[in-house]
Structure 1
Amino acid sequence: MTVRFSSSAPPGRGGARRAAVRSAVAGRTVALAAVGLVLVLMALMALMALVIVRLPWVGDLGMHAATLQRLRHSPLDPGNPLVDADTPSPYYSPWMLLLGTVARIPGLSVFVVLRLAAVAGLALLVTGVWRYVRTLSAHRAAPALALLSLLLLWGTTPFLWSGFPGLHSLALTVSYPSTFALGLAFHFWAWLAGALRREAGWPVWLGLGVLWGVILLCHQFSGVVATVGAVATVLAAGRDGRAVWPRLGAGQVVGAVVLWVWPYYDFFALFGAAGDGLDAVHRGLYGHPVARYGLVLLGVAALVPRWWRDRWDPLVLFAGLGVAVVGAGWVSGHYSWGRALPAVMIPAQLAVALEVVGAARRGVRAGWAVLLAGALLVGGWGQVGVLGYVVPRGGLPAVVEDRYREPWAGYQWITPWVRYGDVVMAEGRAARQVPAYGPYTVAPGYPDFFLSDEERRVAVTEVYFGERTPSSVRRGIEREYGVRWVVGGSGGLDDGGLRVVARGSEGQVLYAVP
């Protein structure tokens, strides 16, 4: 009996050939997916570049512009950035000092310098994420997917807060020191992981200590996140890290010295600032968690298999420590500790991106990919209002326009009359914006831990704008604080002693003080 095969090749060879074809197809699919991720990421980065050109004004932009104004005019003794008082300020960081030096170049306004800061901060953030993710995965698509997760995997409601790297938040805070500090934090974690892996020498550890101190000085809350991530990285090294503990301790000492010798403010005095209104300001961080952070639950689910594979996984430890800090803030009423929320969000966002490219079974990877793609689409739609910062409002579809948040109008209309160093009586949003152009206000537009008479200044401002306040009382306040100008609301001030000088686009009035 003769047995004939349908092919002249041995039976096993066909199976191997089919396996090779499947492998090649899978390889091409991964390559195409990686290219697609990079293209989407490039589109988002182009969007951010256009946002930087517009530099929408909202939030704390006025504070950072005012800080640059003071450093540009007096880099060695800038005084309080908002009021005419000789006090230190935590806003005088190494990064802002460098930007203030750049602002001294003739022809550069502080807003041009803030745009340069935005470009530098965004570049530092992107490259930092890329480097740090490379310490966790060698897959070529991992960094791009991690960046997309950081930008879009938040919630269904746009959320704005400095130090939170969501797309909508970055669109309005990319020029802030928090973006620069967070970018440094990612580079810090990558450098630290590499130092632990190869048992680096003393210079590397001392340099890490300096970098840690600089991050804390530039943005204290992002410094806390950087510290939590660093602790998780060291703990994940386990026994292998014990050999470098003396060098790690030396780096911590160097970082503490950097904090101690910084001449512009006392870093360690900030530990007593939590009760000075900061907790009330930050209570909102704990509100509406599902709408603001709900999509990160997918990342939390991705942390479970990582924990199952390795109880000392760095991302699992990172998220666990972050939950401990944020939870302690909620239980104790220290709501300012909620600024450590990125220490919970970042590791979860990175974890789901890494599961998509690193899960052991192909079907599991595909499942994670489908779930993450859906979450990214939902998160992107939740932040689609950011298009309004680069597209004229009339050109937006109605559904997008509903999600767009109108930026503030500026106060450049007062600059033909109000000069640098003049004192302006203002309240509310005006007090947060006017110092950006060089003048001072009587009461600071932001809580100021180092300003001893802050409460009195706030009370005096309320009295000044009171409807029944006599003109004689207003004249006394003007003399006490050297007020030369008043910015009043559209309703005007019933005071015959004030002279109307100009009106802004929103109906506000600039008055000259007699």
Structure 2
Amino acid sequence: MTVRPVRSGRSAGARSAPPGRAGGPGAALRSAGIARAAVQIAAGSALVLLLAVIVPLPWAGDLGMHAATLQRLRHDLADPGNPLVDANTQSPYYSPWTVLLGGLARLTGLPVFTVLRLAALAGLALLVTGVRRYARALTEREAARGSGARAAHGAGQRAVFALALLSLLFLWGTTPFLWSGFPGLHSLALTASYPSTLTLGLAFHLWARLTAALRSRTGWGTWAGLGALWAVILLCHQFTGVVATVGALATVLSARPARLPRAVWPRLGAGLLLGVLVLWAWPYYDFFALMGAGAGLESVHRELYRDLPARFGLVLLGVAALAVRWRRDRWDPLALFFALGALVFAAGRLSGHYAWGRALPAVLIPAQLAAALETFGAARRTLRAGWAVVLTGALAVGAWAQAGAVGYVVPREALPPAVEARYREPWTGYHWMSPWVKYGDVVMAETEPARRIPAYGPYTVAPGYPDFFLPDEKRRAAATEQYFAPRTPERVRRGIERAYGVRWVVDTTGTLHDTGLRAVARGPEGQTLYAVR
């Protein structure tokens, strides 16, 4: 046998390259480690910002509604009545989560806004852990199916999760979109304490656990728990519940129903039945009555179909990633999730049911996750590097678009001018009324003040938000409009005050002149609090 010496050449040189040599395996490993660390640091910084925002709890959107809900539950946990007006009606805001928070406020005596801060902390914790579990479930599924993805462990798994989280926070558009149930950074900064944040976190946990249950022989108890969790999600935030349902359906379809063991179907059916029973038995409101509530919400949700490129243009990168994943696996759960969500969203536009547009996160979330997962799951190193470069650029653009959220934790005067231009001033509260207006008093106020005043305990004549369960909502709104009309006679105002038990009036225009009212206090933005004589 002749032993031939190894010739110096490209292949031999590659095998013998020292770890520190440029282009060698050691340099590649160090570069990958640096990239993973950078991703984790960026995700950690974003989370620190969101945690810091909990302290000031900036007021915008529906915060007053959720605070009012806790006020009513804190005073009467069994029969709280309408959260906004003095009427004994049910309300979809009395969910398992708000009832739990209301019970906490009642037992501990904590102020409502302190409880909302605790709710924000719990919601963010569930959202972060849910994203981590779902990202891990997806990567493990792909590795088990041998569809080109590599199983990640340790630091790699943490980097996958961090990049998925960054994509959910920043891969949106060049114009921030602030709406509950949409987990952009700026949106979460204002809605972290809302039930929608906690509900979205529960949805991620539902998808992750369902993915695992379909891959293993899971007992009846697990399926019952999944059914109950699905019901709780729907009760806590109905719109996010639709997104959760679409994602769960995509998860089941991705498991190829024809190949599922027969034992799965009766257990899945039992879980669904239990979920429906929980929805039916919930005592605080009739969940199934909400099916007819869409007509009153269409005008509000038409906004969801406007300026789509500016608000969500960066998500196209995720759509491209979904196309790659679908080509690799026709049963990819994220691709199916995206397709079902797009179908619901498009149907809402074509049919004029604009409230269906709240299913838009079912389009965005799978695309955002796909962009992150493809960066780590692509089969070839060059493809992974390409995805990483493009995604980094898109995330940078998205982060800059939402830079105004920094203003909620940094004094406005300390912000650079370019960042200050993106900052949105929070609403002012009505704590200045508290020395005079007591819990349960009725305040006559127009729409904008009516969205905040009940947060401190009083009621308003007309609700600041649409209320499907309030039968005389239109009459109350008409009475409020007539009360503030300049030419309304004083005797008519007195009749409205008697009809609704009005004790106080908030004038935001400075044009209300009535001898039957006595000025008591002046608030910010030129507002005046009047007492009814």
TM-score after normalising by structure 1: 0.97
Q: Distance in 2 between matches of 1:10 and 1:469?
A: 96
CA contact (8 A) 1:189 1:229 kept: yes
Q: Distance in 2 between matches of 1:38 and 1:55?
A: 26
Q: Distance in 2 between matches of 1:38 and 1:397?
A: 26
Residue of structure 2 equivalent to 1:262 = 282
Q: Distance in 1 between matches of 2:298 and 2:138?
A: 35
Q: Which amino acid aligns with 1:274?
A: G
Q: Distance in 2 between matches of 1:415 and 1:314?
A: 52
Q: Shift in Å at residue 9 of structure 1?
A: 8.6
Q: Distance in 2 between matches of 1:107 and 1:134?
A: 40
Residue of structure 1 equivalent to 2:176 = 158
CA contact (8 A) 2:321 2:371 kept: yes
Residue of structure 2 equivalent to 1:122 = 124
Residue of structure 1 equivalent to 2:188 = 170
Indicate yes or no: 2:369 matched with 1:356.
no
SS in 1 for 2:83: coil
Provide closer, same or farther for how the CA distance between residues 489 and 232 of structure 1 changes in structure 2, counting only shifts above 3 A.
Answer: same
SS in 2 for 1:135: helix
Q: Shift in Å at residue 105 of structure 1?
A: 3.5
Indicate yes or no: 2:305 matched with 1:286.
yes
Report % sequence identity. 67
Residue of structure 1 equivalent to 2:51 = 49
Q: Distance in 2 between matches of 1:455 and 1:82?
A: 14
Which among 35, 47, 66 is matched to residue 37 of structure 2? Answer: 35
Encode CA deviations 1:87-116: one digit per residue, 9 max, x unaligned: 000000000000001111444110000000
Indicate yes or no: 2:274 matched with 1:272.
no
Encode CA deviations 1:305-333: one digit per residue, 9 max, x unaligned: 10101111000000000000000000000
CA contact (8 A) 2:50 2:189 kept: yes
Moved more, 469-478 or 135-144: 135-144
CA contact (8 A) 1:90 1:265 kept: yes
Q: Which amino acid aligns with 1:111?
A: F
CA contact (8 A) 1:236 1:317 kept: yes
Provide closer, same or farther for how the CA distance between residues 105 and 492 of structure 1 changes in structure 2, counting only shifts above 3 A.
Answer: farther
Residue of structure 2 equivalent to 1:415 = 434
Q: Distance in 2 between matches of 1:11 and 1:402?
A: 56
Residue of structure 1 equivalent to 2:465 = 446
Q: Shift in Å at residue 390 of structure 1?
A: 0.7
Moved over 6 A (4+): 7-12
Q: Distance in 2 between matches of 1:363 and 1:35?
A: 20
Q: Distance in 2 between matches of 1:10 and 1:467?
A: 93
Q: Shift in Å at residue 452 of structure 1?
A: 0.4
Q: Distance in 2 between matches of 1:26 and 1:19?
A: 12
Identify unmatched segments of 5+ residues in structure 1. Answer: none
CA RMSD in angstroms, aligned pairs only:
1.7
Residue of structure 2 equivalent to 1:402 = 421
Which among 363, 367, 372 is matched to residue 344 of structure 1? Answer: 363
Q: Distance in 2 between matches of 1:12 and 1:184?
A: 51
Provide closer, same or farther for how the CA distance between residues 245 and 420 of structure 1 changes in structure 2, counting only shifts above 3 A.
Answer: same
Encode CA deviations 1:207-265: one digit per residue, 9 max, x unaligned: 00000000000000000000000000000000343531111111000000000000000
Q: Which amino acid aligns with 1:18?
A: A
Q: Distance in 1 between matches of 2:497 and 2:11?
A: 95
Q: Shift in Å at residue 136 of structure 1?
A: 1.3
Which among 354, 369, 372 is matched to residue 388 of structure 2? Answer: 369
CA contact (8 A) 2:338 2:364 kept: yes
CA contact (8 A) 1:234 1:241 kept: no
Indicate yes or no: 2:494 matched with 1:475.
yes
Residue of structure 1 equivalent to 2:448 = 429
Task: Give matches, 1:288-367, under 5 Å.
Answer: 288-367=307-386
CA contact (8 A) 1:352 1:372 kept: yes
Q: Distance in 1 between matches of 2:82 and 2:27?
A: 63
Task: Give matches, 1:203-214, under 5 Å.
Answer: 203-214=221-232
Q: Distance in 2 between matches of 1:316 and 1:242?
A: 23
CA contact (8 A) 2:447 2:463 kept: no
Indicate yes or no: 2:137 matched with 1:135.
yes
Moved more, 101-110 or 84-93: 101-110
Q: Distance in 1 between matches of 2:40 and 2:161?
A: 9
Q: Which amino acid aligns with 1:90?
A: P
Q: Which amino acid aligns with 1:493?
A: L
Which among 186, 197, 201 is matched to residue 219 of structure 2? Answer: 201
Encode CA deviations 1:148-169: one digit per residue, 9 max, x unaligned: 0000000000110000000010
Q: Shift in Å at residue 130 of structure 1?
A: 0.2
Encode CA deviations 1:349-401: one digit per residue, 9 max, x unaligned: 00010111111111111111111000000000000000111111111111111
Q: Shift in Å at residue 26 of structure 1?
A: 2.3
Q: Distance in 2 between matches of 1:212 and 1:90?
A: 16
Q: Shift in Å at residue 15 of structure 1?
A: 3.4
CA contact (8 A) 2:206 2:226 kept: yes
SS in 2 for 1:104: helix
SS in 2 for 1:162: coil
